Amino acid sequence: METFGAAVSILPTEEFLERLRFEKRRTDRSKTPLSLALFSLKEDSGGDVRLLREILISIKRDLLETELIGWVNGKSFGILLLDTAEPEARQRLELLVKDRDWNSCEVLTGTYPDRLFAEILGKIGAEPRIFTLESLEPWSDSSGQQHLKRGLDFIGALTGLVLFFPVLLITALAIKLTSPGPIIVRQTRLGLQGTPFNFLKFRSGQLKNESCFTPVGRIIRRLGLDRLPHFFNVLKGELSLVGPRPPRPDEVGKYQSWHLRRFLEVKPGLTGIWQAKEGGRWASFEELVRQDIRYGRNRSLWVDFKILAETVREALRPARSSMPRTGYLFFRDSRTGGSGNSIPL
């Protein structure tokens, strides 16, 4: 722990971000807001860390006992405002910066989970996602592992397209010859850290109502052929072979804050624990989210290989009449107390 003078001390990076993670989890349980102010050096400041230390010393004298301060990296530090909503956090920040000339520093503020939800749902625009700072999983910090996984994703998707090319061609012709409309439909889904992308699928429904299946579409859905274009999403880097299922924006609007963890830190995938376990049959949406979060904590290439192998085994397994593979999950709007909703996987 770093100390400046008799009373000024801040948390080092690892300890501060770990505390941020802890407070986020506490907020998930207690539903109380958590605000963060992030102080960073401007690009034209020359990168002099001494300036940032002087700012830190000045602001530390005015902090309350319930406010935590610590380094985020070598060029920024943060202040955690516990149980503080966004309006109060902005008022508090105005008091802290009042009568101080900090031309070399810029300040960002955000409140979890309100700001996080707003960012993901596109209500704020390009505001930095400061609440993903705590992503310190050892696996995700390894650029070598990331590049290796990306390479395997690319090779796997390319291999899948080559192997299934005859099936892709026959499916596309069947759709084109039996019903009007595009062969491939695009759905907006959310990828890593809530980034929207076009989710590609073979059209299985009517032109004006995708949920109303055509005769050929029923066969396509039953065999899972509508998902083959997902390989193109993998080639583009929008999906991984293994990861959580990418959600729709309107679905995320019904999430609790802890549900967001299923795609904030892990790139969504073609398959995952949600599909490998009993072919995608789950007792509840919450169970699926917990399994996705568990995958994010324990992910590795070996785990991915096992999930892929299990997915293939489940795909070749005869469907059980008592447990149909509906491809839907049922959950309640836990944020608003609304009625249940079914969401497509």
Residue 202 to residues 43, 158, 187, 278, 282: CA-CA distances in angstroms?
47, 18, 11, 24, 25
Domain 2-136 carries which CATH code?
3.30.70.270
pLDDT at res. 125: 45
Note the pTM of the prediction, 2 decimals.
Answer: 0.65
Query: What's the order of all strands across the beta sheet hosting 105-112?
Result: 67-73, 76-82, 34-41, 105-112
**Separation of alpha carbons 183 and 212, rounded Å:** 15
Task: Give me the residue spans of the domains in the chain.
Answer: 2-136, 139-344
pLDDT at res. 296: 83
Phi, psi for 125 (deg, rounded to 5): 95, -130
pLDDT at res. 345: 46
Per-residue pLDDT of the chain (345 residues), as tens digits, is 544 433 447 788 888 888 888 888 888 778 788 898 888 877 766 667 787 788 888 888 888 888 888 888 878 888 999 988 888 888 888 888 776 666 777 888 888 877 666 666 664 444 445 555 444 333 444 567 788 889 999 999 999 999 999 999 999 999 999 988 899 999 999 888 788 899 999 998 876 666 678 888 889 988 889 999 999 999 999 999 999 989 888 888 788 777 887 887 789 999 888 777 655 565 578 888 888 888 888 888 888 999 888 888 877 776 543 333 434 333 344 443 444 444 444
In sign, the C-alpha dihedral spanning 130, 338, 334, 261 is: negative
SS (H, E, C) 210-258: CCCECHHHHHHHHHCHHHCCHHHHHHCCCCEEECCCCCCHHHHCCCCHH
Phi, psi for 10 (deg, rounded to 5): -130, 160
Establish whether the linkage from the previous residue to 324 is cis, with ω within 30° of 0. no
